[in-house]
Amino acid sequence: MSFTIIGTGSALPKTIQTNEDLAQFLDTSHEWIVSRTGIEARHICVDESILDIALEASVNALANAQIKPAELDLIICPTLGGDTVTPSLACLIQEQLGATCPSFDLNAACSGFVYGLDVADAYFSRNGDMKILVIAVDAMSKLVDWQDRATAVLFGDGAGATVLTSGDSLKAIQLTAVGNQHALSIPWPKGNHPLTTGQPHPAPYLLMDGPEVYRFAVAAICSDLRSVTQKAGIALADLDYIIPHQANQRIIEGAAKRLKLSIDKFVLRVDGCGNTSAASIPLVLDELNRNGLFKSGTRIALTAFGGGLTTGACVIEWA
């Protein structure tokens, strides 16, 4: 027994920052950003906290699933971090919802949502009938260096949630991790113990070797999709939708070409949101679900990659 998705929800902060807005203070242009990434705009938390958007997505998903917070047995929050180191964001979401279940954050960077589904799957295997909220949220605008044009233009903020109940929609899932500090990292300030005085504190902003992550991402999408569909016993061509992590349109196009698949099978939503890290896949899931694109039997593959370096992929058959 695994799970079935019974509800989805999402939330984006209301402030939109276009490429033209960024070109006001960065040495960049709309043309460069669109041609290299496909990104046109991103949503940024200005008036909202990270908890605000996480809560909005969670409430939407619970309403869509028609269940009450008190019915939840577990809250898993894939995120790079909320507004506080502790309490975890998951505990604050639990408090605000009025739920009473165990709740924890999970950090697998942009692969976090698929990691969260895999952890949820293990709970269903152990406990059988449960209701689990997986709420993925990241506010990358708080983690990038706004002086660094090579990274600041890529990211945005958002939250995407799903409510899971026991079922057999999950046909296959797999995770990978290849520890790598150099390709993508966000250092933490080292604290202020007197004995550490004098050591330089790295700025707590995202550092990335873009071309290395790009190559890793294209290869990971291809190998993960091949093996997860094989595990599910279906051909790539049998998938109705592939929802990849929305980092860069060129990465997705490159993977589609290598896999000899039509780009139309891949859902592309990089343009309006940029890379929202763990939230990017559930944001798209919610949009497609609300637009009625998923029918009973629709086959969906999710494929994610990100800091760690981590990857995760799964095949879901809509119930």
As annotated, the active-site residues are 110, 245, 275
User: For residues 25 and 19, is the Cβ–Cβ distance under 8 A?
Assistant: no
Work out how close the CB of 206 gets to ligand UT7 at its nearest, in angstroms, rounded to a whole number. Answer: 9
Residue nearest to ligand UT7 (CB): 210
Helix axes 50-65, 89-97, angle to 10 degrees: 50
The size of the interface with ligand UT7 (CB under 6 A), counted in residues, is 19
Q: Is 182 in the site for ligand UT7 (CB under 6 A)?
A: no
Residue 213 contacts ligand UT7 per CB under 6 A: yes
Footprint of ligand UT7 on 249-268 (CB under 6 A): none
Smallest distance from the beta carbon of 42 to ligand UT7, in angstroms? 13
CA distance 231 to 89: 33
195: CB partners within 8 A, 6+ apart: none
Q: Residue 154 Cβ, how far from ligand UT7 at the closest point, in Å?
A: 6
Encoded one letter per residue, x for contact with ligand UT7 by CB under 6 A and - for no contact, window 75-114 reads -----------------------------------x----
Beta bridge partners of 316: 170, 300
Interaction of residue 269 with ligand UT7, rule CB under 6 A: no
Give 153 or 207: the residue with its C-beta nearer to ligand UT7: 153
Q: Which two tokens stand for residue 230?
A: 């094989």
- Tell whether residue 210 is a contact of ligand UT7 (CB under 6 A): yes
Q: Which of residues 275-294 bind ligand UT7 (CB under 6 A)?
A: 275
Could you tell me the end-to-end alpha-carbon distance of the chain, in angstroms, rounded to an integer? 14
Asked if 153 interacts with ligand UT7 (CB under 6 A), we say yes
2 binds ligand UT7 (CB under 6 A): no
Between 137 and 213, name the residue whose CB sits nearer to ligand UT7.
Answer: 213
Show contacts with ligand UT7 in window 8-47 (CB under 6 A): 28, 32-33, 36-37
Q: How far is the CB of 111 from ligand UT7 (least distance, A)?
A: 9
Q: Supply the minimum distance, in Å, between the C-beta of residue 219 and ligand UT7.
A: 12
Which CB sits closer to ligand UT7, 32 or 205? Answer: 32
Nearer of residues 69 and 116 to ligand UT7, judged by Cβ: 116
Binding status of residue 205 toward ligand UT7 by CB under 6 A: no
Binder of ligand UT7 out of 34, 59, 119, 150 (CB under 6 A) = 150
Do 245 and 303 contact (CB within 8 A), yes or no? yes
Nearest to 112 by CA among 60, 169, 180, 160: 160
Chain residues that interact with ligand UT7, rule: CB under 6 A: 28, 32-33, 36-37, 110, 149-150, 153, 208, 210-211, 213-214, 217, 247-248, 275, 306
